[in-house]
Chains A and B, each alone.
Chain A
């Protein structure tokens, strides 16, 4: 075990919003023809997580898992997304299937994707305020009264 949570077989590449699109484009050309997953992570309380030395830790990360079907290779792209400007270019033109996943990441984390054809909320109602999977989003609790229960 080198680093907790990182499997030796995992192939991880870190990047910044500015280089994100060019990097993914080069991976597509390299043979990673399938985007398995695209999601966000809120590292609100883990700003000191281990990262490559030349990278500034930001609050959000967008994680993209890619698969090369022909050569059976997988790779994980981790992008640092700043809280002040949570926006990335959309991968829709490279992977049409990311349309729904980018909508979900927008809905749950409030990370916008420029160039997305329809960046609307996908799970929450359209007029919902807030982004539920952010770590500072309060978990609502509704008190339940069990009338029939004996005290």
Chain B
């Protein structure tokens, strides 16, 4: 098997230029025992049924006592719904298993039933904070499958670029705003949302909606930019 290296790498030079040294994750074979324990030992690898069974066992006072408790799935500060299965000794968390899936909406399965032009309405809702990027990925994949990816008008390509970059800005602004809110920096939230609102106003002007645009379609975009 041959793979071609497009450009010679400056990686070694970059690494030598930092005082932190090589920060890539080392292969398992090069890890020390302590590092390996920290990496693989911190996850509670146990099914929920097994954990429930443990709770039914009688307490052995001589045993090294650990306790498995659930945190979540509801928690006032979580943006999504996450449940953590925690193994505790006293107040120390020994191991943890994150349990996800509570917000899974089966969009891939939904997508199987949709025509190519309907797909955009589905994927735009996958990440509703950065919808254009999802639409772009879906549209480009569809175009490649149909073999029409060379035929997209230049103007549509550049509008796509502009819109996905604006979408990225809006998404990152909201990320930083809500991160500030979680840290208690409420002014950061206000500034972030204010600037994001400018982007959303522009989007409303172009696509008609603030989010869930379905603007980037297979073949181009839904409409030209407004004149003014």
Contacts and interface: CB of A to CB of B under 8 A. Distances in A.
Nearest to A30: B3
A132 interface: yes
Nearest to A26: B1
B3 A117 contact: no
Contact of A70 (B6, B9, B45, B146): B9
**What size tier do the contact residues of chain A reach?**
35 or more
B179 to A, nearest CB: 23
Contacts of B7: 71-72
B3 to A, nearest CB: 5
A126 B85 CA distance: 14
Contact of B3 (A73, A108, A122): A73
A73 B5 contact: yes
Given A4-B147, A118-B46, A123-B101, A33 B113 contact: no
Nearest to B15: A70
Contacts of A121: 101
Nearest to B98: A100
A137 B47 CA distance: 24
Given A73-B5, A75-B3, A122 B47 contact: no
Given A4-B147, A124-B101, A133-B108, A11 B3 contact: yes
Contact of B40 (A33, A117, A123, A127): A117
A26 B3 CA distance: 12
**What size tier do the contact residues of chain B reach?**
35 or more
B215 to A, nearest CB: 24
A118 to B, nearest CB: 4
A126 B150 CA distance: 45
A1 B9 contact: no
Chain A interface, DSSP helix/strand/loop, else mixed:
loop
B28 interface: yes
Given A13-B1, A123-B101, A133-B109, A117 B6 contact: no
Interface in B1-55: 1, 3-7, 9, 11, 24-25, 27-28, 39-40, 43, 45-49
A123 to B, nearest CB: 4
Interface string A32-59: 0100000000000000000000000000
Contacts of B79: none
A5 interface: yes
A122 B100 contact: yes
Interface of A: 1, 4-5, 7, 11, 13, 23, 26, 28, 30, 33, 68-73, 75, 93-94, 96, 99, 108, 117-118, 120-127, 132-133, 135, 137, 139
Given A118-B47, A132-B106, 15 more contacts: A1-B147, A7-B144, A13-B1, A30-B3, A69-B11, A71-B6, A72-B7, A73-B3, A99-B43, A117-B45, A118-B43, A118-B46, A118-B97, A122-B101, A123-B101
